[in-house]
Structure 1
């Protein structure tokens, strides 16, 4: 990197991936080793980052919010008349909650290949249009069979969303920047919950207009919004650092070159099957999978049954039950953002992830022990600490996996883990235990403890490998254009 800068540029000096020999974060002045040298973030690079933010972030946040609102529309439908209108029972409702995640899981394998073969903006845009259409068709469902088929298709096409968003973040931002943006992506799921609940409040007050049940209006409105969003994404979603909408200057092209080297990720349309094989041999892949399952059982269970659970804590109207769900979404946002900012501030992804797991476990434990009342509601809100832990689990992949095909594979396995957890969750909310639903919160508490243990083991494994690499450094720098994985690139140090 050119070290000569004019005085008026006031460059920001950033220490990249500083790690002490024991694997912990350290100060550059104390003789630490690094995976790459200190870089200088000039005013031009800061302007480039702002340009990326103004063009990419509005789309990213809207996509994630709408995706979550569409997924959680079923939970709101429970108090908007879906039971009475379609004749389904409690067990069938649980299956409608779970079958979405079955479709989500099935599509993860083809999604790994398709996301590499096509431009991400075009691929994701088409998928969004299709799942928006499925949302609108869901409003026409009249029985369990029809609703189950449509929920499966909704999960199938929504499965494209998060893996695409995660790989775009990894392409656009430096490793030391990514933790915050993974947190923002997770935070937007909470905002999507708030958005969906506010729209549902309006729908609950408008009644069955034109002879159409309120829950059907909910699906029609969000379906139309989703289709519109998909069309815009097809043409304008920034999916790479050189996307045409960014209108890069020659100097910004050089900045992109430096940032790409720091990321250690080069996009390619060729699927490297050796990357998949390498990933399957790594224990951390299975630990991430297990942690994702443990954290997301409550995400699925409490998401689908939240309105019903809250309605049992008092004599609430449907509108009041929906309004009381809103702080849950706000807590999900808060924990996601808090976890990401704290991890970036202290330079400890795993330890902050463990803290978030403890907060979430405490919330689930309260749901288990307390029968009813405000304290139980507080437990529900605290349980969304899992959002912070999930954001940091995604950041662990973004920061510590290199090789394009390998990173996509890891993201897909992580999303598969979240999907399996969310599939299991609603099934643990046993109809015979209503309204307390004791089995679910007990298992959810255990799931958080399992995720906590996975964070600990993963951190210890990566710290041990960092120590080996620092003790035996390679003789020359890595050529990033080779697209090496983190195992092949001995200059690569893991961020803990």
Structure 2
């Protein structure tokens, strides 16, 4: 922990003086980087801590601070994701509770959400970088809560389609902002677990939503149709969560009013060595170019697409599939809940493992294999009449959703430069929406009740994703070897000691360099 004298020195020395002193001591930054750290428009963190480590804190202090952050950030992120996934999949519950839109029109209403999501993804990421991200997120949640409640008043296909488009637009900001917040407050080997803590809500909403829908299904619909009650209830919940986010979720360590000045400095120093940067409100053309010319960007987009097509199908048709086994609507609502438990357990286990082993892609492979097996069982046992085996297969399929959580964690751990982060997150989420749009169309009404072509498509797509995951893992391992060789050569050329390297690493942390520009950035496989 800092001493009283250290804290006073931090407050007395302006950031500009701290930077200037260091600039006079060193000739230039590492020659292996193509961008000078002194010429870059740096992160907002520089205003608080400067280019050099401004204070030393004990591990006990950092552990106490991390516990405080864990009680403040992940619970609100989880509430947001819980609300978002529940609202997005409300159509799945409504589909067997008297929803008036059926057949191909139902498919179109399903994909409308992702049309809005896709159309607004890049604009919302651009706007969020210009504003305080948590406040922007909270405002979107409140608006989509109102939109969701309006579903109860809609009567026609056109009205439902338009409302679902607006819902998708508002919800498109969620994942990029939550990922960004996690990267700002947590170290690389902590991010997978924290992302799993909010992504686990995808599974838990399946349990919660199933039981809520089951209870509402007993209503006789005398005053309101059961599906309308679902929309009113979930919309009201979203508004409450949105207000909480506006009030209590911090925008960044620099602007976290919930922390003391010392704690805000400690937050920044704790993540300095990760070289991931903090926040910058200026869009940078060179970082956008780097993002779109990086082959890994498009490989991660491909793996997102291969995951999202099954997601678009199953998030809207899973209850219809289970009901096709021969169960009633009420039985289906209850029997669908265990798949949520499977998904939640897989997400938490994989998040823990990926941080412990610093390996994201093996986690993706591990959670895809059960889904591939489950899909094969659904195809092979389609006409068997074995309801128990078919139900078990439907639960196995729930593991694939964890892959997207691992993709989020991969982006968080392998991208630096604020504009590049936002660009890659926008591309990832845009691909997510494209995949989900396609997914809503692979279960065609003419293929009911077995939907065999759709199930075959899921099995083939996820099998292909295994190869993409291994390729991404290999590329990152190769890049790390190249960076290590270049750094060793630079050490020999300049006669640097390990202490010199660490000092230069600290100077690069908050100058908003990309992972490729920064020679000290280490990729996570």
The TM-score by the shorter chain falls in which range? Answer: 0.7 to 0.9
Contact 2:75 2:198 in 1 (8 A): no
Q: Report the TM-score when normalising by structure 2.
A: 0.83
**Structure 2 residue 301 is matched with structure 1 residue 297:** no
For 1:452, which of 466, 488, 499 is the aligned residue? 466
Distance 2:283 2:261 in 1: 31
Contact 1:67 1:192 in 2 (8 A): no
For 1:400, which of 403, 414, 417 is the aligned residue? 414
Match of 2:495 in 1: none
**Structure 2 residue 225 is matched with structure 1 residue 208:** no
**Structure 2 residue 84 is matched with structure 1 residue 55:** no
Contact 1:81 1:213 in 2 (8 A): yes
**Structure 2 residue 450 is matched with structure 1 residue 436:** yes
Match of 2:362 in 1: 351
Contact 2:78 2:199 in 1 (8 A): no
Distance 1:114 1:50 in 2: 31
Contact 2:277 2:509 in 1 (8 A): yes
Paired residue secondary structure (1:62):
helix
Distance 1:300 1:180 in 2: 25
Distance 2:460 2:423 in 1: 27
Runs of 4+ in 1 over 6 A off after TM superposition: none
Distance 1:408 1:179 in 2: 18
- Identify unmatched segments of 5+ residues in structure 1: 3-38
**Structure 2 residue 150 is matched with structure 1 residue 137:** yes
For 2:268, which of 245, 257, 260 is the aligned residue? 257
Judging changes above 3 Å, is the alpha-carbon distance between structure 1 residues 464 and 315 closer, same or farther for their aligned structure 2 residues? closer
Distance 2:256 2:68 in 1: 12
Paired residue secondary structure (2:203):
helix
Contact 2:374 2:396 in 1 (8 A): yes
**Structure 2 residue 83 is matched with structure 1 residue 70:** no
**Structure 2 residue 384 is matched with structure 1 residue 384:** no
RMSD: 2.0
Distance 1:144 1:424 in 2: 20
Match of 1:10 in 2: none
Contact 2:76 2:245 in 1 (8 A): yes
**Structure 2 residue 178 is matched with structure 1 residue 165:** yes
**How far off is 1:244 after superposition?**
3.8
**Structure 2 residue 259 is matched with structure 1 residue 247:** yes
**How far off is 1:480 after superposition?**
1.6
Match of 2:239 in 1: 227
- Identify unmatched segments of 5+ residues in structure 2: 3-55, 492-500
Match of 1:484 in 2: 513
Paired residue secondary structure (2:400):
helix
Distance 1:425 1:41 in 2: 50
Paired residue secondary structure (2:76):
helix
For 1:42, which of 56, 59, 84 is the aligned residue? 59
Contact 2:300 2:407 in 1 (8 A): yes
Match of 1:280 in 2: 292
For 2:204, which of 191, 214, 224 is the aligned residue? 191
**How far off is 1:139 after superposition?**
0.9
Distance 1:315 1:229 in 2: 35
Match of 2:433 in 1: 419
Distance 1:336 1:418 in 2: 18
Contact 2:277 2:511 in 1 (8 A): no
**Structure 2 residue 195 is matched with structure 1 residue 174:** no
**How far off is 1:315 after superposition?**
3.4
Distance 1:286 1:257 in 2: 31
**How far off is 1:260 after superposition?**
3.4
Deviation sequence 1:14-47 (CA, Å, 0-9, x none): xxxxxxxxxxxxxxxxxxxxxxxxx996111111
Distance 1:310 1:40 in 2: 54
Equivalent pairs, count: 455
Paired residue secondary structure (2:217):
helix
Task: Answer with 1 or 2: which has the greater Rg.
Answer: 2
Q: Report the TM-score when normalising by structure 1.
A: 0.88
Contact 1:187 1:387 in 2 (8 A): no
Distance 2:186 2:256 in 1: 17
Q: How do 1:139-158 and structure 2 match up within 5 A?
A: 139-158=152-171
Match of 1:36 in 2: none
Paired residue secondary structure (1:206):
coil
Paired residue secondary structure (2:440):
helix
